Chains A and B, each alone.
Chain A
Amino acid sequence: MHALFPAIGEPREGAASSVPLIATRAVAKQYGAVQALVGVDFALAPGEVVGLVGHNGAGKSTLMNVLAGTVQRSSGDFRYDGAEIGAWGAREAQAGGLRCIFQELSLCGNLTATENTRIIHANLRGFGWRRRARALISAALDNIFPGHGIDPDRKVAELAIGERQMVEIARAFTQTSIPVRGVILDEPTSALGHTPTEQLLVHIRKAVAGGIACILITHRLNEILAVSDRVTVMMDGAVVADRPAAGLTRSDLVTMMGSIEAHGGTGRASAPVANGATVIDHAGRDGADRAIRARRGEIIGFAGLDGHGQRERLRAIYAATSTVPVAYVAGDRGTEGVFPLWSIADNLTIRSLKALQRGGFVVPQAARALAEQWAARLKVKAPDVDTPILSLSGGNQQKVLFARALASDAQVVLLDDPMRGVDVGTKQEVYTLLRAEADKGRSFVWYTTEMDELANCDRLYVFREGRAVEEIPGAQIDHARILEASFGGAQTGASDG
């Protein structure tokens, strides 16, 4: 992770006033046979930050959707600001001053940031609404992310993903006639760079000092520890722990979540098989751009700041690799990963159809066996492989995408930041699996935005401004070295607290 966060305000205890903003009792939610929430008791007081952590599929996002009114609870009591609530929809939540930043962006790409701000404010209308909306969103952006450089009159679709995330966050804190009382942030930092993340955390503390309540969901535990007053841990649709954040450590959190603490790397046995045959040799664009080479059984990491050409390089390698079978695991699973209407089995076997066919027809038994075998190996949490993929949680969908690549005949697997927004436990399982597959002779090229993951690699290439500018051998992989290469060696000091 990004070193230490500066201590942002002292987490205060007893800040809670007598009437909680949100209080639920035994809230449950079923999706058909799947029990997403089983009796959740949850409370949020004004001026409090609650960090919500848990595995993927623990029910965090479902709970937030229930609170934000976008999903109706199946049963249970819900009190908002002391009042008993019956039907609770998005409109009521808005009117009550409760805002939600959803895990997947909920901005309209065809509209500008200004117009998107109008969407959540019913009274931004009439003459001059555009000017007022622009002033609102610009002020919020300047306030939260000083130096953001975002033009509020550009279409959101034309912004980089990090910029979109900033717009969405800033929008949630804009205020017209209805005061903002609570803000739910579901994985707000997964697309943000280092500086905006810290700016956001500072702002959260500032906002709660003004009486706003916040719920922060993130898999970056350091962020939780940096800003939360209280930490709530969920597992299998229920709250399993609820503690004041003061005095908690990262490993306490991980223990509470019921998974093993992430230790650096997954134990590289020794030096990687140095004599393996070279399977990738991809020349750079020019002298400053290093050639990417990978041998059999190696895990190569792509590091550097997000959006500095790693993804483009991965795709170039994918297009250029023809001597060995290659597979690609997409990070943006919604748009380039899953087939939304298909089952787990169909999604999993699509890369292997050639091996599963006889005389031009897919052999159903073989396909099913393959799907079941790999769904089991990756511990995909679902009743069976015929379950529609969209009924799975994000992390489990990602597991299916991994399984798709690993079940295939691919000797080279390219990973495009696949762990974005995936929980610690799943990550550990996948790291172990990757290492095991590498030991069997598969090669991986792994682009990741998370520093921790780079420790699992045998060798790194650090990207800056579209080029692979630095190669770091396994023994020398460390935080400072990567940051130095990412920032061009000049400004590493600023990013460590």
Chain B
Amino acid sequence: MADIALQRRRRIAPALGTALQIGLPAATLIAMLAVIFWIRPSAMSYFGFGLLFKFAVPLMFAALAQMLVIMLGDIDLSIGSFVGFVTCVTALYLNEAPLLAVTILAAGIAVYAGVGLLIHVRQLPSIIVTLGMSFIWLGAAVTLMPGPGGAAPRWLVAFMSWKPPLVPLPVLIALVTAFVGHLVITRFSYGAVLRGAGANPRAVERAGWSVLTIRCGVYAAAGALACLAGLTLTGLTTSGDPNVAPAYTLLGVGAVILGGGAFTGGIVSPVGTVIGALTLALAGSLLSFLQVPPTWQIGAQGAILFLVLAGRVLFSEHRS
């Protein structure tokens, strides 16, 4: 009947939609790079890439952590403060008392799992719980270290300034995390269960899975990724600071959405998220190259984010 002709037409649309989801942030990233290279051709080099994307590494991990939470249909407003807390712990203890530092970080991850447990069991909105947690993490960090200070372990700093052959470190890390993320979330059989749990938890529960375990596990994984973000950030800045990363919370959300994720849960793309984080990190550099005064940069960065997200919405509406 007519259904068949209709189906054929509809079949092309999804493939196109997926391509656009990843394609749009990727195109934005390439366009930004093109502008930068046009202004400063010398940036088109191993060192140039290394410098441009240096600060994208911690943001990338924070964005992936946020992606996991958004995958479950929740949102984590505490990632930025938690990353700040991790930098303080790292700078204070990792050098002198590594065991203590690792214990504190492990406890932090356990608290993340506990937040997942609380949200699930009490059916609380994640936005409220994690907003509260953000103040707790900030308070804990300020108690440890009232202002910027401490020193990153030498090996961490050395790692972050390591120059692997051929590919600059940030690009290498981006490639590896995007690949691993894609494998785990998009390809693995358990990834399907995780995404399913975000979209329709009841269905997954009825199939015999424990959504409680899934939520705790995913929150713990988000905590672990946020720890990585804090560690790499300390390696770059070489010191700890409670207020170093509040922007990571919302930049992470931006990266997830930019990369094709949706707040409805279950719809996320690790590759897209990594590209989104790179794009957002680059936006700051681009503005410097365009000689936008620093006072205007935050606003201009917001404008870029807005434009790209608006573009995504426009494209996805064309689809349906």
Contacts and interface: CB of A to CB of B under 8 A. Distances in A.
Interface of A: 68, 70, 89-91, 93-95, 100, 102, 106-111, 115-116, 118-120, 122, 124-126, 129-130, 149, 151, 154-155, 158, 160, 465
Q: How large is the interface on B (under 10, 10 to 19, 20 to 34, 35 or more residues)?
A: 20 to 34
Interface in B254-279: 264-267
A106 B206 contact: yes
Given A110-B266, A125-B190, A158-B10, A90 B196 contact: no
Interface of B: 1-4, 7, 10-11, 14, 187-190, 192-193, 195-196, 198-200, 202-210, 264-267
B19 to A, nearest CB: 15
Contacts of B204: 108, 119
17 contacts: A90-B205, A90-B207, A91-B208, A95-B208, A102-B206, A106-B202, A106-B207, A109-B266, A110-B199, A110-B265, A115-B195, A119-B203, A119-B209, A122-B208, A130-B187, A160-B3, A465-B2
Nearest to A150: B7
B205 to A, nearest CB: 6
A119 B266 CA distance: 14
A405 B303 CA distance: 46
A151 B11 CA distance: 9
A111 B208 CA distance: 17
A90 B4 contact: no
Looking at B1, B11, B192, B195, which has the most chain A CB atoms within 10 Å of its CB?
Answer: B192
Nearest to A95: B208
Nearest to A114: B192
A124 B189 contact: yes
A312 to B, nearest CB: 13
Contacts of B7: 149
B208 A109 contact: no
A422 to B, nearest CB: 22
Nearest to A157: B199
Contacts of A151: 11
A267 to B, nearest CB: 36
Nearest to A104: B202
B202 A111 contact: no
Nearest to A117: B192
B14 A158 contact: yes
A440 B197 CA distance: 50
Contacts of A116: 196
Given A108-B199, A110-B264, A116-B196, 6 more contacts: A91-B209, A119-B196, A119-B207, A151-B11, A158-B14, A465-B2
Nearest to B203: A106
B264 to A, nearest CB: 8
B207 A120 contact: yes
Nearest to A105: B203
Contacts of B206: 68, 70, 90, 100, 102, 106
Contact of A94 (B2, B192, B207): B207
Given A107-B200, A116-B196, A126 B208 contact: no
Given A91-B208, A119-B204, A119-B207, A111 B192 contact: yes
A95 B266 CA distance: 26
A337 to B, nearest CB: 19
A90 B211 CA distance: 12
A100 B204 CA distance: 13
Nearest to B10: A158
A154 B202 CA distance: 21
Contact of B205 (A70, A107, A130): A70
A106 B204 CA distance: 8
A116 B4 CA distance: 23
B14 A154 contact: yes
A456 to B, nearest CB: 28
A115 B192 contact: yes
Contacts of A94: 207-208
A182 B113 CA distance: 37
Contacts of A154: 11, 14
Contacts of B264: 110
A7 B267 CA distance: 45
Given A70-B205, A90-B208, A149-B7, A109 B199 contact: yes
